[in-house]
Chains A and B, each alone.
Chain A
Amino acid sequence: MTELPNSTDRKMGLVIDLDTCVGCHACVISCKGWNTENYGAPLSDQNPYGGDPSGTFLNRVHSYEVQPADGHAQLIHFPKSCLHCEDAPCVTVCPTGASYKRAEDGIVLVNEDHCIGCGLCAWSCPYGARELDVAEGVMKKCTLCVDRIYNENLPEVDRIPSCVRTCPAGARHFGDLGDPDSDVSKLVAERGGMDLMPEMGTKPVNKYLPPRPKDQIEEQIDILAPLLAPVAEEPQGFMGWLDKALDKLPGGAN
């Protein structure tokens, strides 16, 4: 068993906007690229050109269909990576201390030198956010790009996780969710940001912004229909309207 820090100075995490995520997987591959080349062992791929290709990813996008009782079915794209929980069961379950939560920023990491690849952490994570790298035999997970966000070799503007930097739709936000005045905390407050599976008691740091209500336009017909009131019922009437309307234009007769 490994202990969590009593508290963390900051709670760094992601806010993911499900209203805007188009499911393009840009974050998935950018993450794969950065983390294959950087922190720890490369994210390996087994059978990359074969029958059942299977590689290690720290971030995946799932798509779910939602069928409301009334109205059209909807498709929700749902990116998922480690949520850097305050009460992270993956840390407390670790037999070697390899899994840990950083005291300064709350990032949950795996010290690969101490990881024995037992898989207990992946089993304990209710979100399925950890993947065992088959080639290296160590547990891999989102590092929140700990090797980017403080990296003095990167321009300041780029000291954000790779997935956030690349997201074309701007659906991913990074910041300190422990600071109520941070941009991400304000966004969560404004948009009703949610915990994923709060009933699990893990207190995830990452938050999801829910999709806005959809398919409302027909309900606004009472406001919109009057805008389409015909100017005249007969074609000749239309021409009469046209003449009057033209006279009202700038430079017109009236």
Chain B
Amino acid sequence: MTFQQPRVETSPPVSDEVRKTTCYMCACRCGINVHMKDGKVAYIEGNRDHPVNKGVLCAKGSAGIMQVNAPSRLKAPMMRTGPRGSGQFKEITWDEALAIAVGWMEPIRHEAPEQLAFFTGRDQSQSFTSFWAQSFGTPNYAAHGGFCSVNMATAGIYTMGGAFWEFGQPDWDHTKLFMLFGVAEDHDSNPIKMGIGKIKKRGARVIGVNPIRSGYNAVADDWVGITPGTDGLFILSLIHVLMKAGKIDLDYLSRYTNAPVLINAEEGPEEGLFLRDGDGKMLVIDRNTGKLTPFDQPGVRPDLSAVYEKDGITHRPVFHLMAERYLADEYAPEAIAGKCGIPAKRIRAIGGELARVAFDEAFELDVEWTDFRGEKHTKMTGRPVSMHSMRGVSAHANGFQTCRALHVLQILLGTVEVPGGFRFKPPYPKPVEAHPTPHCKSTPDTPLDGPHLGFVRGPEHLALKEDGRPARIDKAFTWENPMSAHGLMHMVISNAHAGDPYKIDTLFLYMANMSWNSSMNTKGVMEMLTDKDENGDYRIPHIIYSDAYSSEMVAFADLILPDTTYLERHDCISLLDRPICEADAAADAIRWPVIEPDRNVRGFQTVLIQLANRMKLPNFTNEDRSPKWKNYADYIVNHERKPGIGPLAGFRGENGDKEGRGEVNPDQLDKYIENGGFYVAHIPDGADYYKPWNTAYQDWAVGMGIYDSPQPYLFQLYVEPMRKFQLAAEGHGERQPPEHLRQRVKDVMDPLPIWYETDQQGNEGFTVNALTQRPMAMYHSWGTQNAWLRQLHGRNPLYVPTKLMREHGLQDGDWAKVTSPHGEITVPVMEMAALNGDTVWTWNAIGKRKGAWALEKDAPEATKGFLLNHLIHELLPAKGDGMRWANSDPITGQAAWFDLKVKIEKAAAPQDLQESQPAFPAQESPVGTGPKELKWKVGK
């Protein structure tokens, strides 16, 4: 056929209208353009103007169209009719549903508010949900941070007033060496991909430290396939070689950190605390005068070296203690190489590269700024080394100290809040002192005495009752885990079932798949949720659950409050909550109903307001007993946390021209919609680095309502609140740890970073590390119902390193029995060479229970898919002391998912079904299953 060419329409209409809102396919919260045709969602792309994603969008975001049409969407409120776990429900009206919920909750509030446990999962409205729980009066509230990355968040706040992800980011425009620790693909996903792309284009080096060479580690220039759980030791070794070579930023350390602050050396109740003056200010020796002086005085040059002698006692600065500890040979690369699985030469090479880039490639920006001591600087010194970490190093029982070590390494190099280094995002930097302490005093018919979650400064802030027992159901802020700033959601069901520390009446969960992939010991948790007492009543009497989809957890609830999808609702991504700011700007955003629900569902936050209004909760009710807000949108616009400060910072004031502080603007949401669904307030030039000490930034932050007054502070290489817990363990003070925890508190609450091996009791013979991660194209359990995403990641074999495949005679597609001290699973295996030789892993939350998520029963997720959760117990193996020891970080309570040790052996295919084991009976689907074919075209 001779060449011929038909005419193609190259300018077809793209859409009738573009509605700009915020994505919720994961926690990244990118801006999206939702293209509409005939009132339906036709196509979703990234919003180029948005501060988070600047136009790009990941697979999840683009697949949002398959989320809003997912057959698993719940349709109406439901009441359980069959036994718990069966999935048998009847649909009821919202009026009935709200009346039932109030019927359970109101008596609790009148008698014992702590009998309501309200925990929210991947909640992006925590400032609101916590406000609700506080108004109700229960101390039992938290979101999912305790089983996610509380170690990272808390170590960051205590050390430097901010951590990674929502708290800060590398200076992608200037950094020349980016070092990434552990799995990080599941949070801040687009900004990190954009950043890696940007720096690789410039030829900057990326070093990935991760037992698994996938995702970002696959593109790293150098891969460090570290032994899981030893990152802290590796980091302390880097600190060792850098300190020993003097490759540390002494000027930075003396000005901006507590390295020069003097430590009280006098034996007694203040030993190890800072020397302070009468106003409580930390004391240093001024190198100009040699005299003792408060750290913040104009002209003072804090001395890292000088000691203070008084009454025959030598008080030394923090830096002395650090030198003493980290120069010791026990941290030499040769001493730790075997433990970490990294050759000493490689550790030295990485240390050398950090030194080379931080100091030999230092640069200056000609930007003037003034520090908090009043000193004017004509330049900003850049040290182009940046780091990032997230869940990987967090999810170990030594994770808090590891995260601390990581921040101390950044600070020693002088790379935090400087050009080329790591930069905070507003409202961070924010020192511990600017955060609340935890509150737990509950009184019938009365709001809680303050915010639930916070940062303890010492034993006086623990959430303990007068008799010393835990005040919270999850035992957060107790001697078992004093700094559990995000609570311990993973312990709630286990503790409630055990009645330890007390029984509860109603468990109220939002968006948390706690009967499946979000719980350790999944099978055990299902049994706890269905277990009955001697009277035949469920041990956890009432369970209320809100979810948008037919998840595994739905089957275990008594009452279902169906949520909307993210395109059908109002939300605010608030500076009061988990913000989406950039290093050079404050930003917040909204979601708004770009489509109306076609089902009898309501946004959960609106339902909380409706429940509050029925119960006439204080804070939600006017003096005349009328409700303050009718729905969440009303709250977003009209609620004021303090006068002039509300959930949204943009378009405040009568005319919508005020930012940060300003009167309520009734048209605020319309203004946000006009502006693309978000608001950005840029940090002025010259205020955008050195933020914790930069007067221009501090003044800007006060104007924005981020602080009420300037809050300059020093980075805490040495964390004094930790020392206060040690002092208690040494016998000082009124609040004393129980005897069985005394030595542990003393050991782990070290105010300078340490590394310790996590509790290995019961792990004898289990020598293989087992990890999970989420694929970049999925987020937790939601992805699998998505027709497009499940075609990318519908299967999760156990990835086994070549060495172990050979040792066990395994080939791809074979089955292996994987055993831990707690349980056993039988699963398909696949070889992976780019993997630490003693580590296996799988994708998390691909495995599904049959009947869930509107999938058919033969879906691979429900047959071959599996959870590693069955091998992980929420408790450590019994020690014979009758105690229930949580499988959590002893400092923060962070769930220690990644401490799992297993052994593997070849197994026959389980039965004839070729199903992974354990298999569970199907739950009935209240929404049926999806269609057999999709041809999704909404336009004509």
Contact = CB atoms under 8 A, between A and B. Distances in A.
Q: Which 4 A-B pairs have the closest CB atoms?
A: A224-B352, A49-B930, A73-B833, A168-B193
B323 A49 contact: no
A227 B556 CA distance: 60
A36 interface: yes
B834 A77 contact: no
7 contacts: A30-B59, A32-B62, A48-B931, A50-B929, A76-B218, A216-B221, A224-B355
Interface stretch (B343-351, B443-451, B508-516): B343-351
A208 to B, nearest CB: 14
Given A22-B193, A25-B777, A51-B858, A217 B349 contact: yes
Most buried by A among B217, B787, B791: B791
Nearest to A50: B856
A30 B60 CA distance: 9
B929 A102 contact: no
B197 interface: yes
B776 A25 contact: yes
Contacts of B856: 47, 49-51
Interface string A189-213: 0000000000000000000000110
B304 A246 contact: yes
Nearest to A98: B6
Interface stretch (B227-235, B239-247, B577-585, B887-895): B239-247
Contacts of B834: 65, 72-75
Contacts of A165: 45-46, 55-56
A154 B14 contact: yes
B284 interface: no
Interface in A208-233: 211-212, 214-218, 220-221, 223-231
Contacts of A242: 250, 304-305, 319, 323
Contacts of B319: 242
B258 interface: no
Contacts of B854: 49
B120 interface: no
Interface residues of B, number: 122
B112 interface: no
A245 B345 contact: no
Most buried by B among A22, A29, A38, A216: A29
A12 to B, nearest CB: 12
A57 B63 CA distance: 13
Interface string B293-305: 0000000010111
Nearest to B356: A227
Interface string A9-39: 0000000000111111110111011101110
Interface in A59-99: 63, 65, 67, 72-77, 97
Nearest to B9: A147
A3 interface: yes
Q: Which DSSP category, helix, strand, loop or mixed, fits chain A's interface?
A: loop
Nearest to B194: A168
Given A212-B221, A228-B351, A168 B10 contact: no
B3 A157 contact: no
A223 B13 CA distance: 59
Contacts of A37: 35, 37, 42-43, 936-939
Interface in B320-345: 320, 323-324, 327, 343, 345
Nearest to B359: A227
A101 B59 CA distance: 30
B244 A230 contact: yes
B353 A171 contact: no
A135 interface: yes
A105 to B, nearest CB: 10
Given A22-B215, A49-B859, A72-B213, A168 B3 contact: no
A99 B197 CA distance: 35
B253 to A, nearest CB: 10
A243 B221 CA distance: 38
A166 to B, nearest CB: 5
A124 interface: no
Given A37-B938, A45-B933, A224 B791 contact: no
